[in-house]
Amino acid sequence: MKLTPTPLTERVDGLDFLRGLALLGIFIANMLHFHSPYAYMDPYTWFSTPGDQSAFHFIDVFIEASFYPLFAMLFGYGLNMQYEKSLKNQTPFAPFMARRMSWLLVFGIFHALLIWFGDILFTYAIMGFIMIALVRIPKKWLFSLALVLYIVPSSLLYIFTLISRKINPNSLLDGFVDIQQIELAISAYAHGTFIEIFMYRMSEWFTYGVIGLITAIFVILPLMMLGAAFSKWKIIENMYAMKWKLVVTMIVCISLGILLKSMPYIDGPKFENIYLVQSTFGGPILTIGYVALFMLLWQIPFLKIVTKPFATIGRMAFTTYIMQSIIATLIFYSYGAGLYGKVDIVTGTWLAIGIFVIQMIAAQIWLSKFRMGPLESIWKRLSYGKNFGNKEEKG
């Protein structure tokens, strides 16, 4: 049997819809890093104006750490769909997916070194290689293993931080601000040459990339495994038969997720409250609640039509993600408009929304003429080893 791409008639629109929403949430969260040295600040004390404080509070509770889990789960969902397609068509899955992940790895390296250090493609590719083996596990075992891999290490880390705080309350460096790195980031991104930006970006990527790969095993990988398990259960395909389950899931997970994500404002912005209770536990729980909400909204005919642009842009998520990095860095870095460090959170958030709206319009125009986005077409050609053409057939 020959390997062939998935026809448009076999695409799951609900999957593209969720992918489009994830792209918007991720871009709003990433915008904080695009326009300022956010990674080195203590955002709970750094911002002084009421507008920035309110905007950060909203992003921190409702967006940050609640849309990248959705994207990771959708990645696992799609990977399992490819696996089941290979079983149905009796085609080799591992060699094809290994080629696909290898090229994603290359794209990720180029993205991280030449555009933006906050790349996620490299990490997704590494975790994707592991998923080639894990996707074969039966759904119940895959689901259980994902929960164990996610919950146990994070819970142990939480217990360790509580013990450390009891022994030495200052050991966790709550509220630490790295003034030196803030100055270096502004010097490089706002005023540096392309080479200086490249060198600083590379140093950031090596630092965060290594840490990211270690944490990804206990965060990104189990989220992908959950997505693959949900795919085996056909959660999105069967959403119309699960309305009441989705309602209960939405109410419970959104309520619990918002409570956990508000913990830094309830019990103080301590290390364990920010990185564990809020992000590690609260983020994905709120994600599940969002997914249930979005799937319920998608079932309403009027809203399905209104939100169709999200499904459209979700079809070219790869291109959209890379273009967001290119556009944002051209706006903020010195080789572009040079606005790094000069934009507040409110402006940055509206800028992200505005860019995304333009991208949705561009996606609608592009996909009226072509089957998929330009980067999707290149990735497919490299993965399958031949050119299928990208022109949309009419009539």
Domains of the chain, by residue range, sit at 8-384
* pLDDT for res 321: 98
* pLDDT for res 207: 87
Average pLDDT over residues 169-195: 91
pLDDT at 322 over 70: yes
Nearest CA to 24 out of 372, 351, 376 is that of: 351
Whole-prediction pTM value? 0.93
DSSP 370: B
pLDDT at 18 over 80: yes
Cα distance between residue 82 and residue 74, in whole Å: 12
Q: What is the pLDDT of residues 215-230, one digit of tens each?
A: 999 999 999 999 999 9
* In contact, 340 and 35? CB cutoff 8 Å: yes
* In contact, 181 and 40? CB cutoff 8 Å: yes
* pLDDT for res 8: 47
* pLDDT for res 27: 98
Average pLDDT in the chain: 93
Nearest CA to 202 out of 123, 118, 328, 124 is that of: 118
* pLDDT for res 175: 84
Question: CA 166 → CA 80, 170, 171, 173, distances in Å?
Answer: 44, 10, 10, 14
Q: What is the pLDDT of residues 234-261, one digit of tens each?
A: 999 999 999 999 999 999 999 999 999 9
pLDDT bracket for residue 189 (50, 70, 90): very high
* pLDDT for res 394: 44
pLDDT at 6 over 70: no
* In contact, 28 and 349? CB cutoff 8 Å: yes
Q: What is the pLDDT of residues 22-76, one digit of tens each?
A: 999 999 999 999 999 999 999 999 998 999 999 999 999 999 999 999 999 999 9
In the numeric block, the tokens 């609900």 are attached to: 14
Burial of 224 (0-12, 13-18, 19+ CB in 10 A): buried
Average pLDDT over residues 296-306: 92
Q: What is the pLDDT of residues 110-130, one digit of tens each?
A: 999 999 999 999 999 999 999
Tokens describing residue 279: 């992000």
Q: Could you give the dihedral angle defined by the CA atoms of residues 127, 131, 132 and 138, in that order, rounded to the nearest 10 degrees?
A: 180
Contacts of 181 by beta carbon, 8 Å cutoff, 6+ apart: 37, 39, 40
Within 10 A of 87 (CB to CB), how many other CB atoms are there? 10
Q: Which uninterrupted H or E stretch holds 112?
A: helix 94-114
